[in-house]
Amino acid sequence: MLRILKQALTGGVATNSYPRVVGEPPDGFRGKPVIDFTRCTACDACAGACPTSAITVQTSAQKRGERTVEMNYGDCIFCGECEAACPDAIHLTKEFQLAVTDKSELVTRGFYTRGSDGVYQYSEVPAQTRSHTEPVEEIGKALKKKVRTLFGRSLHIREVDAGSCNGCEVEITALNNPVYDIQRFGVRFVASPRHADMLLVTGPVTRNMEIALKQTYDATPDPKLVVAVGACAIGGGVFGKSYASCGGVDAVVPVDVYIPGCPPRPEALLHGILLAMDRYPHQGPAHTA
């Protein structure tokens, strides 16, 4: 007992300083893949390498000689296979805070026309999917303020594993460790959906969990929020939709926010929770579960 007490007193503070420490992913971290559409030739090498079909190359049926290259970050598992297949046009970044309230915002496209030499060249490149680079402490500070405004003093979350490989659960568990310490922002995990303001759902929804997820959603008091965590929860991920899987969470219950990643980092989870607060219908203190 004395040894544990001594270690606690001499070990120092493990939690990130607030707000001066910026959480920076380590070298080798695989974040958002970015397509340089100006260097891409719509050859579909990246699409062929993508295990989840997050990248697709489609030839127009109406206009010959036109192609569309599409990247869906909701399906992306950040494996890096696309970069390996086409290092000239695709590179992985350290961007990971990509949570959105509208699934369509996870898709970016480039349009191409075939030249006289038979090579496709870009004709239009829409805006890239927005990303956020706020440090974890700044995200947490904003989150704490919103939680206090909307819920009085705390936000209660019920985590639901609808069929996950548990990769996302590892990151969610990290939110409660001394490094991230999500409770300092007024956010707590609860055991019952009847005490929850938000459902944090992971994994593709397996057929065996479909009814359980619906019942959990119904048991959560209104108004409530639902956040889909990771590629599997957004669209089925590597598992897709099959006899054993319903696919993404929004195929079973309404979703307010989508957090891409495989799995998303704790900072990305914090950003997604913060974004969900904007979807909450109350502008004053809500029920205190």
pLDDT digits (tens, 9 = 90+) for 18-54: 334 446 778 888 889 999 988 888 888 999 999 999 9
* Cβ atoms within 10 Å, residue 21: 12
Q: Are residues 115 and 204 in the same domain?
A: no
Q: Are residues 114 and 155 in the same domain?
A: no
Burial of 286 (0-12, 13-18, 19+ CB in 10 A): middle
- At residue 155, the pLDDT reads 87
- Cα 262 versus chain centre, distance: 8
Query: CA 115, CA 257: separation in Å to the nearest integer?
Result: 41
- At residue 20, the pLDDT reads 41
Calculate helix-pair angle for 266-277, 136-151, nearest 10 degrees.
Answer: 30
CATH number at residue 223: 3.40.50.12280
Q: Are residues 117 and 174 in the same domain?
A: no
Q: Are residues 84 and 50 in the same domain?
A: yes
Q: Are residues 192 and 60 in the same domain?
A: no
Query: CA 248, CA 253: separation in Å to the nearest integer?
Result: 9
Q: Are residues 184 and 257 in the same domain?
A: yes
Q: Examine residue 282 and state whether it is found in any structural domain, yes or no.
A: no
Q: Are residues 62 and 140 in the same domain?
A: no
Q: Examine residue 283 and state whether it is found in any structural domain, yes or no.
A: no
Q: Are residues 111 and 186 in the same domain?
A: no
Match 């959480």 to its residue by tokens: 23
Q: Examine residue 212 and state whether it is found in any structural domain, yes or no.
A: yes
Q: Examine residue 265 and state whether it is found in any structural domain, yes or no.
A: yes
Cβ atoms of 239 and 230 within 8 Å: the answer is no
Q: Are residues 47 and 152 in the same domain?
A: no
Query: Total domain count for the chain?
Result: 2
- Domain range for 161 is 136-277
- At residue 96, the pLDDT reads 86
Q: Examine residue 3 and state whether it is found in any structural domain, yes or no.
A: no
Q: Are residues 88 and 177 in the same domain?
A: no
pLDDT digits (tens, 9 = 90+) for 103-127: 989 999 889 988 877 788 888 655 5
Cβ atoms of 96 and 32 within 8 Å: the answer is yes
Secondary structure, 3-state, 65-124: CEEEEEEECCCCCCCCHHHHHCCCCEEECCCCECCECCHHHHEEEEEEEECCCCCEEEEE
Q: Look up residue 223 and give its two tokens.
A: 């108004």
Q: On the CB side of 159, how many CA atoms lie within 13 Å of its CA?
A: 20
| Spatial CB neighbours of 64, under 8 Å, sequence gap ≥ 6 | none
Contacts 24+ apart (CB under 8 A), 206-214: 206/162, 206/163, 206/244, 206/245, 206/246, 207/243, 207/244, 207/245, 207/246, 208/163, 209/161, 209/162, 209/163, 210/246, 210/252, 212/162, 213/160, 213/162, 213/249, 213/252, 213/253, 214/252, 214/253
Q: Examine residue 21 and state whether it is found in any structural domain, yes or no.
A: no
Q: On the CB side of 35, how many CA atoms lie within 13 Å of its CA?
A: 35
Nearest Cα residue to 145 out of 112, 186, 191 = 186
Q: Examine residue 241 and state whether it is found in any structural domain, yes or no.
A: yes
The alpha carbon dihedral of 12, 14, 17, 22 has a sign of: positive
Q: Are residues 141 and 273 in the same domain?
A: yes
The segments of the chain whose pLDDT lies below 50 read 17-22, 283-289
CATH number at residue 48: 3.30.70
Q: Are residues 225 and 255 in the same domain?
A: yes
Q: Look up residue 135 and give its two tokens.
A: 């440090």
Q: Examine residue 199 and state whether it is found in any structural domain, yes or no.
A: yes
| Spatial CB neighbours of 280, under 8 Å, sequence gap ≥ 6 | 150, 223, 225, 286
Query: CA 154, CA 187: separation in Å to the nearest integer?
Result: 6
Question: Amino acid identity, residue 137?
Answer: E
